[in-house]
């Protein structure tokens, strides 16, 4: 079915729902690369006007990717809750935007609505939202998850402490993790991206992080971000696995490119839960996503990259995760060209994830070949804090020496706490005071690398420094 709109006598037509969605998408290089984007700002507005008039329920009647050929589409269709959808079922996309912004859409209403929304619906409405809309709506939708810390409570910001090392050196990982803890980072997770993906290294890394956690009694959880199949093998060997990680995307073919499907994710989730490390009612899965991953795997089905990203959230939602984050600026300028595109994408991803009910975080980041810099990241962090993001990722001095890109620094977490008034998870906030990292007001003490008593003990984990 074709869609059309007329602007001052010029008729713009869009042959199908996919092309309407793609052409209504705010400009970004990935859709240009795929040959899907609007030819210019006027055609884009024409598509947005036509999209605003589209009944929301159209997305239940027409699939962008057929269920018969794609298990993600099948999952979206199977899990749709018609009763939860009822309050907005007669709205157009444009009226849905207005309702989301209205006081009627409060936290209980948005929470009840989540199972009734599909990724395509939230992607569609995000395309006609400006940045302020994306912030305002997401800020009304808290999503709280728990393991040893409670993440996503309103008014708080958690952090992933990411102590990567180019060769996975135990000492290198440990001192980097300590650096982050001394700056107050790590209440969402202490999570290492391994340089190697071997089982012995995976086990060594989680054992190292477990020892650190126990020695310092940190109320947090840890994760080695190896492949899910390696995590399954490690759990079978009794490794102390808190969280199981996997990158996921919005189509079966793109997930196959990551070497996963829904069945293996279910197996991993069940195995992690069976370890009994997570308290009752808590969560054990950690997912990362990012706009462009489906296109780069040639698995996007002619669908725009932002809608494909929202579809990845349907995969994540199936497994009740503790943490989900988009790695927004990592994939490169052929997908998100500059700071403006990265900032918008970060806010879109957070908005879509939250509306679908995910505990959404963002890796606020960029590569050196993108037209972006640390100031763009300052802006995105500040906007995300206003939007109520669950967590961000921080590394020493904003420089990830393993993945060769720039994320936020541990200092940025201090900025969020002290200037934006976003303390960490309550358990971790109390711990920071107890061990002397922060003072009674929650402000960073000293900072210059002096190790408070409990940390001096942790440094004895280093070889040759045993007491």
Partner 1 sequence: MSTPPSLRDLRALTQARIALGAHGAGLPTAASLAFGLDHARAREAVWTPLDAAAIRAALTEQGLDAVEVRSQAADRAEYLRRPDKGRALHPDCESVLDKAGTGFDLAIVIGDGLSATAVALNAVPTAAALAARAKRAGWSLAPVVVASQARVALGDPVGARLGARAVVMLIGERPGLSASDSLGCYITFAPEPGLPDSRRNCISNIRQDGLSIESATAQMEALLRAMIAQKLSGVGLRRDEAALPGA
162 marked as part of a ligand binding site: yes
Report in angstroms how near the CB of residue 447 gets to partner 1 at its nearest: 4
CB closer to partner 1, 176 vs 325 = 176
CB closer to partner 1, 118 vs 409 = 409
User: Beta partners for 55?
Assistant: 92
Report in angstroms how near the CB of residue 108 gets to partner 1 at its nearest: 35
CA end-to-end span of the chain: 74
Report in angstroms how near the CB of residue 185 gets to partner 1 at its nearest: 12
Report in angstroms how near the CB of residue 371 gets to partner 1 at its nearest: 8
CB closer to partner 1, 118 vs 176 = 176
67 marked as part of a ligand binding site: no
- List interacting residues with partner 1 (CB under 8 A): 29, 32-33, 163-166, 169, 171-172, 174-176, 178-179, 182-183, 333-334, 337, 367-369, 371, 373-374, 395-399, 401, 404, 406, 409, 411-412, 414-415, 417-419, 444, 447-453, 455-456, 459, 462, 465
CB closer to partner 1, 3 vs 330 = 330
Could you write out the three-class secondary structure of 33-99?
HCCCCCCCHHHHHHHHHHHHCCECCHHHHCCCCCHHHCHHHHHHHHHCCHHHHHHHCCCEHHHHHHH
169 marked as part of a ligand binding site: no
Report in angstroms how near the CB of residue 379 gets to partner 1 at its nearest: 16
H/E stretch holding 150: strand 150-151
H/E stretch holding 362: strand 360-363
If phi over 0 gives left and psi between -120 and 50 gives alpha, with beta otherwise, what is residue 238? left
Beta-strand ranges (E) seen in 196-338 are: 222-224, 244-247, 285-289, 323-327
Rounded Cα–Cα distance for residues 411 and 419 (Å) = 12
404 marked as part of a ligand binding site: no
CB closer to partner 1, 238 vs 453 = 453
48 marked as part of a ligand binding site: no
246 marked as part of a ligand binding site: yes
121 marked as part of a ligand binding site: no
Could you write out the three-class secondary structure of 19-52?
HHHHHCCCCCHHHHHCCCCCCCHHHHHHHHHHHH
- Rounded to an integer, what is the distance from CA 362 to the centroid of its chain? 5
DSSP 155-200: T--EEEE----TT--HHHHHHHHHHHHHTT--SSEEEE--SS--HH
288 marked as part of a ligand binding site: yes
Report in angstroms how near the CB of residue 368 gets to partner 1 at its nearest: 4
CB closer to partner 1, 3 vs 335 = 335
Annotated binding residues: 160-162, 193-194, 246, 288, 296, 363, 402
Annotated binding residues for substrate: 160-162, 193, 288, 363
Annotated binding residues for adenosylcob(III)alamin: 194, 246, 296, 402
């Amino acid at each position: 079915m074709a869609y059309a709109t007329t602007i001052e006598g010029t008729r713009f037509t869009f042959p199908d729902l996919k092309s309407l969605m793609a052409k209504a998408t705010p400009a970004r290089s990935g859709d240009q690369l795929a040959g899907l984007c609007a030819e210019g700002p006027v055609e884009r507005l024409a598509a947005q006007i036509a999209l605003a008039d589209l009944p929301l329920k159209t997305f239940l009647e027409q699939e962008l990717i057929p269920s018969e050929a794609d298990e993600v589409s099948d999952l979206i269709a199977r899990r749709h809750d018609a009763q939860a959808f009822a309050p907005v079922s007669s709205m157009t996309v444009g009226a849905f935007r207005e309702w989301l912004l209205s006081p009627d859409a409060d936290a209980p209403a948005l929470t009840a609505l989540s199972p009734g929304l599909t990724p395509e619906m939230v992607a569609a409405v995000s395309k006609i939202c400006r940045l302020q809309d994306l912030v305002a709506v997401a800020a009304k939708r808290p999503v709280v998850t728990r393991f040893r810390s409670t993440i996503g409570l309103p008014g708080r910001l958690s952090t992933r402490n990411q102590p990567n090392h180019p060769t996975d050196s135990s000492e290198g990982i440990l001192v980097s993790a300590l650096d982050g803890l001394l700056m107050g980072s790590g209440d969402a997770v202490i999570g290492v991206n391994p340089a190697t993906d071997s089982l012995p290294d995976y086990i060594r890394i989680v054992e190292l992080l477990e020892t650190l956690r126990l020695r310092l009694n940190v109320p947090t959880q840890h994760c080695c971000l190896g492949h899910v199949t390696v995590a399954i093998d490690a759990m079978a060997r009794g490794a102390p696995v808190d969280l199981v990680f996997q990158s996921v995307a919005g189509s079966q073919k793109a997930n196959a490119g990551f070497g996963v499907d829904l069945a293996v994710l279910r197996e991993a989730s069940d195995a992690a839960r069976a370890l009994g490390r997570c308290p009752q009612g808590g969560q054990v899965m950690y997912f990362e996503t990012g706009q462009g991953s489906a296109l780069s795997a040639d698995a996007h089905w002619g669908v725009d990259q932002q809608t494909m990203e929202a579809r990845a959230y349907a995969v994540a939602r199936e497994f009740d995760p503790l943490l989900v984050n988009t790695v927004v600026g990592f994939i490169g300028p052929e997908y998100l060209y500059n700071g403006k595109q990265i900032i918008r994408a970060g806010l879109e991803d957070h908005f879509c994830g939250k509306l679908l009910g995910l505990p959404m975080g963002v890796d606020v980041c960029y590569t050196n070949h993108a037209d972006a810099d640390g100031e763009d990241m300052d802006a995105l962090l500040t906007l995300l804090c206003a939007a109520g993001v669950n967590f961000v990722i921080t590394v020493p001095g904003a420089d990830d020496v393993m993945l060769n890109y720039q994320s936020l620094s541990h200092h940025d977490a201090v900025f969020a706490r002290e200037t934006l008034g976003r303390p960490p998870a309550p358990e971790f906030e109390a711990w920071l005071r107890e061990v002397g990292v922060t003072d009674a007001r929650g402000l960073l003490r000293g900072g210059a690398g002096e190790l408070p008593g409990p940390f001096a003990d942790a440094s004895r984990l280093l070889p040759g420094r045993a007491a």
